[in-house]
A = this chain, B = another copy of it.
Amino acid sequence: MFPMEKSAPKVPSDRTTRDRLLDAAEHLFGIHGYKGAGMRMLAEEAGVNLGAATYHFGSKDALYIETFLRRFRVMNAERLRLLRESEEQAEGKPLPVARIVDCMIRPLFQSGLKHPSFQLLLARNLFMPPPFLHAVIRQELEPNIKVFQAALLRALPAMPDSLLHLRTMFGMGALLVFSFQMAQMVFERHATFYENVLEEMVRFISAGLQSELPPSPEQWLPFPFPPDSESR
């Protein structure tokens, strides 16, 4: 029933079918969304048989999750790596806000230039993940968010937690929507000076984060990220 139930030394065999399926899934799920891309469509684009998908992944959901995590994990790891590297260079001193934001954003830009389809998929899923993905994303993203929040709090000691949380979410929104648009530009081969755009985005978000504190004490509930859409 399942591909490697016993023995199976190192998944040596395919390396083609399975990966071609993943690539096709990344591409088509990114463009059409989870509901918009059917298994037959994927199989055709990948040039494999319809049954191959069920064989290698078990179900559409599982394929979707795997497609998403494949790059999401390395992107998050890269984010942490950059931040740690910066903090080592700073030798104990709190990092400037812009630097922290840069560490957060840069991997997304880099990944977007190499894998625009994934960037579409990513934006889709951070915005409105299908229900079965929601927990996965949260679990994968949570440690990341914690670390960056902590770094920002060190850089902005006067800012209340809840306010920073809200502002971070605004920044995420700007980043998210923009990355979606950028992916389509990359897709259409509209080469642009993305380094400039990245700098500009860092400036925008940093300015927002550092803007003056509100006169009245802020009062609101925490907004979860990402929100779960299909829940109702």
Contact = CB atoms under 8 A, between A and B. Distances in A.
B197 A166 contact: yes
A98 B194 CA distance: 28
B181 A196 contact: no
A196 B182 CA distance: 32
Interface residues of A, number: 62
For A177, A205, A219, the residue with the greatest tally of chain B CB atoms inside 10 Å of its CB is A177
Contacts of A223: 178, 181-182, 185
Given A174-B173, A178-B223, A36 B35 contact: yes
A70 to B, nearest CB: 21
Copy total for this chain: 2
Contacts of A171: 174
Contacts of A120: 229
A200 interface: yes
Contacts of A137: none
A197 B184 contact: no
Contacts of A232: 31, 184, 187
Interface stretch (A7-15, A76-84, A143-151, A207-215): A207-215
Contacts of A172: 177
A60 to B, nearest CB: 14
For A207, A214, A231, the residue with the greatest tally of chain B CB atoms inside 10 Å of its CB is A207
Given A32-B229, A167-B204, A204-B208, 19 more contacts: A31-B230, A124-B128, A127-B180, A163-B200, A169-B178, A170-B178, A170-B204, A173-B175, A174-B208, A178-B223, A180-B227, A181-B224, A181-B227, A182-B223, A184-B231, A184-B232, A196-B218, A204-B209, A207-B212
30 contacts: A31-B229, A31-B232, A35-B35, A120-B229, A127-B180, A163-B200, A167-B204, A169-B178, A170-B205, A172-B177, A173-B176, A173-B177, A173-B178, A174-B174, A174-B177, A180-B227, A181-B224, A184-B227, A193-B219, A194-B220, A196-B219, A197-B220, A199-B214, A203-B208, A203-B212, A204-B208, A205-B208, A206-B211, A207-B211, A207-B212
